[in-house]
Amino acid sequence: MQKIKNVVIVFVLITFIFSMIQIIYAASSIEAVVQQSEQEERNIFNAKYTKYTQGAQSSQNIKTLMTEIRTSNTLYENHQVAVKGVGSSPEELEIKIDTQKQYTVVLEYGQNGYVTAVVVEEYVQLSYNPNNQVNQNNQTQINIVTNVSQNKDIPPEEKDLPDAGKETGVIFIAIVLAAAAITYLKYKRIEI
């Protein structure tokens, strides 16, 4: 009778250890899914703005961008996007936009990886000068773009850590729990 009792205790302890391993592994899997979901949400939010950073933009594209910012700021209270450069607000920028000119868009990112500001500047096309001299307006535009790009925050890169670290943690906890169970059995002097 004592042997059956001992076997039942060992079986219960092994089942408990296995259940704990499953719980820990499930928790780490849920965390990975949550992180992936947050990254996808951030990418969707930022995509509304990154499409405007490719080359010179027409005044109509800039007006569309300002509408996008106003809509986004209304919908996402936690992720407000500021306007810098030609105007300090979407409304002011739309008034100052010249339909005959093109514009460049530079994005600034916060520590959380979301776009926090859109910098709109007048686009000045650089021209080739055979004397290797850049005219003053072009040099000013180069300085503006250089200063803006040096001051902006770069979105944090997502570093995908291998799951091996999580599995190693689960294995370590399983070994600790197994050692605790064996110690308990020896302490109680239960023979298997």
Question: What confidence tens digit (pLDDT) does each residue in 150-162 have?
Answer: 444 445 444 444 4
Structure tokens at 178: 């197994």
Question: What confidence tens digit (pLDDT) does each residue in 1-31 have?
Answer: 777 777 777 777 788 887 877 787 777 778 8
CA proximity to 11, closest of 180, 181, 179, 175: 181
Question: What confidence tens digit (pLDDT) does each residue in 109-164 have?
Answer: 999 899 999 999 988 777 665 555 544 444 444 444 444 444 444 454 444 444 45
Instruction: Report residue 122: phi and psi, to 5°.
Output: -65, 135
Three-class SS state of 88 = coil
CA proximity to 65, closest of 78, 49, 86, 83: 49
Sheet holding 82-85, edge to edge: 82-85, 115-122, 103-109
Angle at which helix 59-75 crosses helix 2-50, to 10 degrees, equals: 140
> Distance between CA atoms of 48 and 69, rounded to whole angstroms?
9
